[in-house]
Amino acid sequence: MKSNVAEKTAEYFKLIMLAAAYLACIFSPPSVYALQPPPPPLDIEQLEILVSRAEVIVVANVKQVKETEGIIEATLCVEKLLKGEISGKTMEIRETYKTADFPSATLKPENRNDGASIVRSVAGPSTYRGKYEKGLRIIALLEKDEKADKYKPLGSGTYNEHLCEFIIENGGVKPLYFRFAQDVSRYTDNEKCFVCLIKKLIRHIAE
């Protein structure tokens, strides 16, 4: 009788340990991929470099959006052309990005003598891409995608560069994936102030 109780207790304990190991594998941070830190806060010096790299800079609103696996396309209605040349009042955006993949990782919990292992799926990082919704107003620093003959924001498709699409919201401007440094954030509470800053940097680069 005592032997049966001891065996059942041992079996329950084993099941509890298995469940604990399984939960630990699910909720512990993935070791296959390190978390990608965001780019550093964007300061005026770096913003000037990005402004100089941009072929076209616009204030625009999103007119149409189409998204498929790994590709997002948008039509922008240009309100203000701050830098570069375009034909007409609309322009086409095309971004390609890597979606999060799910490779399998085989993990062997400690204190297991039966050779059993747990297969765990973990997500890799996605690359940066812009945000596009019909009616959304944005300020974008763009470069030409020669293969598609369309434009994309600087930093699109990367893991660690500043994505140069800025959302106009509640009269101010906000970035995606990173923060503005203090010397830039003083201009971001007001759309006109931020546009004036970009124009000032364009003039400074041309001197």
Global model pTM greater than 0.75: no
Using CB atoms within 10 A of its CB, is residue 61 exposed (0-12), middle (13-18) or buried (19+)? middle
One DSSP character per residue, 155-172 reads TTT-SSSPP-EEEEETTE
Q: Which residue has the tokens 């994309």?
A: 152
Smallest Cα–Cα separation from 161: which of 46, 69, 82? 46
Q: Which residue has the tokens 């469940």?
A: 19
pLDDT in tens, the chain (207 residues): 545 555 555 565 555 554 554 444 344 333 333 456 889 999 999 999 999 999 999 999 999 999 998 899 999 999 999 999 999 999 999 999 876 554 545 555 555 555 555 555 445 557 889 999 999 999 999 999 877 789 999 999 998 899 999 999 999 999 999 999 999 999 999 999 999 999 999 999 998
Mean pLDDT, the chain, whole residue set: 81
* Helices and strands, counts by H and E, the chain: 4, 9
Report d(CA 130, CA 62) in Å as an integer. Answer: 11
Interaxial angle between packed helices 44-53 and 191-206, expressed in degrees from 0 to 180 and rounded to the nearest 10: 70
For residue 72, the Cα-to-chain-centroid distance in whole angstroms is: 13
Query: Is the distance from CB of 97 to CB of 177 less than 8 angstroms?
Result: no
pLDDT digits (tens, 9 = 90+) for 131-179: 999 999 999 999 998 777 899 999 999 988 999 999 999 999 999 999 9
List the beta bridge partners of residue 91. Answer: 76
Using CB atoms within 10 A of its CB, is residue 177 exposed (0-12), middle (13-18) or buried (19+)? middle
Report d(CA 123, CA 33) in Å as an integer. Answer: 8
Smallest Cα–Cα separation from 183: which of 45, 57, 52, 82? 45
Torsion angle (degrees, nearest 10) of CA 202, 197, 153, 59: -100
Query: Is the distance from CB of 205 to CB of 53 less than 8 angstroms?
Result: no
